[in-house]
Amino acid sequence: MKRGLAYVNERVDSRIPVTLLTGALGSGKTTLLNRILTEQHGMKIGVIVNEFGELSIDHHLVALTQEEVVELANGCICCTVREDLLDAVTGLLKRQDLEYLIVETTGLADPRPVAQTFLHDELHDSISLDAIITVIDAANFHQNIQLSGTTIDQILAGDLILLNKIDLVAEGDRAEIRAEIEDINPSARILETVQGQADLRLLLDVDLHREKAVRAGEETSGDFISFDALVQSGQEAGNHLSREEISSVSFVAPHPFDYIRLSKFLEALPQSIFRGKGILWMKEYEERLIFHLVGDRSTAVIGDAWGDQPRESKLVLIGKGLNREEIVEQLQGCLDLSERRS
């Protein structure tokens, strides 16, 4: 019997299963990924994380485990870095002990073109798509739909939908959101969660993608896709980020932030900035502060101590129609220039 969670469903397919983790910015994908990686499931998992923006933030937010984490940065995995994804998967397959693969897309990606990557002729005999898991932020459900049409694509693609952060919405609103999701994708399974807490036996090695295709009468006979076709499908998808005027501003500083000035900056942020994340150096703390901004909610959680590592602040803001120069100038004004990293 295969190790890990296979006791739930004995796999006939000997290929390595892949879970594609998708969902809007700030929905809780990385939180869910960390929960999976820190559970005692006994499997050797490879992880690929796609990050939108020039800075590497998400890679540092993934739990420190024995798993191998590959980062695809500065692009959206569904339309600009799919060749990198193919190379990353191929590289991970060289690991003799690999038993499972999880791919976390950027919150701006349509997972359907990404799923086609696993039909590539180099991967088809080694990998099978187990499930597309779509994580939804219940508190920002309607805002995310208005911000980007990709949110609907993510719901449509989901084999399993995690309605997350249900503790932040009233019971009546939660029921309405669930009904809307069921209307968009009636064939998906739905789990309601808080901070991504769910039994892993319902998430991994569940063979939901094939099961959904069989129910829909869309099961293929084993056809695979060439690299040329893969590139063409990406070109047809187009750069949706440009169409939606979505961009990011990255900021790195060798100085700590001034707490009061940074707080005032965040309070005055325009609605066009809907996601932020970073690792902050604050003069008052010996630890890193892990910063998240989702909609109008922002949090800063104490992380690991800096120790002997060089101290610096890294921050990424994502939104529509951003004025990069103005935002960088405002962030510069939030720094305490009296102290500099050694």
Residue 281 to residue 261: CA distance in whole angstroms? 14
Of 20-24, 95-99, 157-161, 228-232, which gets the smallest average pLDDT?
228-232
Tokens of 47: 């992880």
Kindly state the average pLDDT of the residues 165-174.
Answer: 94
The angle formed by the CA atoms of residues 228, 93 and 14, to the nearest 5 degrees, is 100
Where in the chain are the domains? 16-241, 246-332
Residue-level pLDDT at 75: 52
| Residue 4 pLDDT > 70 | no
Name the nearest CA neighbour of 51 among 17, 85, 19, 18. 85
Kindly state the average pLDDT of the residues 261-286.
Answer: 88
Predicted confidence band of residue 326 (pLDDT cuts 50, 70, 90): very high
Name the nearest CA neighbour of 232 among 127, 79, 110, 73. 79
**Coil, strand or helix: which one is 248?**
strand
Would you say 30 and 192 are in contact if contact means Cβ atoms under 8 Å apart?
Answer: no
> What DSSP character marks residue 184?
H
Would you say 155 and 182 are in contact if contact means Cβ atoms under 8 Å apart?
Answer: no
| Alpha-helix runs per DSSP H in the chain | 29-38, 58-61, 82-92, 111-116, 141-147, 150-157, 171-184, 208-215, 227-237, 240-243, 259-267, 324-332
Report which listed range, 64-73, 209-218, 250-259, is most confident: 250-259
pLDDT greater at residue 334 or residue 12 = 334
Residue 79 to residue 102: CA distance in whole angstroms? 19
Burial of 205 (0-12, 13-18, 19+ CB in 10 A): buried
Kindly state the average pLDDT of the residues 52-61.
Answer: 57
Kindly state the average pLDDT of the residues 208-219.
Answer: 60
User: pLDDT of 228-271, one tens digit each?
Assistant: 544 454 444 445 555 567 788 889 999 999 989 999 999 888 88
pTM equals 0.73
Kindly state the average pLDDT of the residues 138-157.
Answer: 88
Fold observed for domain 16-241: Rossmann fold (3.40.50)
CATH class belonging to 246-332:
alpha beta
